[in-house]
Amino acid sequence: MKSKELADHVAQAVLEKKATDVIIMDISTLTSMADYFVVCTVDSDIQSKAVVEHVLEKLRQYRIKPWHSEGRMSYQWVLVDFVDVVLHVFLPEKRKFYNLERLWGDAVIKEIKDSDGLTEPHQK
């Protein structure tokens, strides 16, 4: 599966568990560490765990396993690294504090509004 398709699958999976403010950041021209970040916000550590577990379950269908993950002790900011795509699940205060959108300000960002698909990309 290509990295863009994987990012789309991850974004749709987080929406299925009612994550909000979902974006896909194309960082492929900015770094070699990954091609895309999928970033979302959740309301609680319980929802964070549910989102992460749902993504892992969905991707198992494609025989895709994470290379690395962090934050699964407190679920305030969970990072799940699929090599070309990195999922970031944040509680609101953590997302505001780390502000990946500002840190990676040159990335092309696609906002994901609902399960019907992606909106148009834009530069922040």
Instruction: Give the pLDDT score at 49.
Output: 96
Instruction: Give the pLDDT score at 115.
Output: 53
**In the chain, domain spans:** 3-112
Ramachandran angles phi, psi of 48, nearest 5°: -60, -45
pLDDT tens digit string along 9-26? Answer: 999 999 999 999 999 999
Instruction: Give the pLDDT score at 121.
Output: 47
Pick the CATH number of 3-112 from 1.25.40.10, 3.30.460.10, 3.40.50.2300, 3.50.40.10: 3.30.460.10
Instruction: Give the pLDDT score at 55.
Output: 97
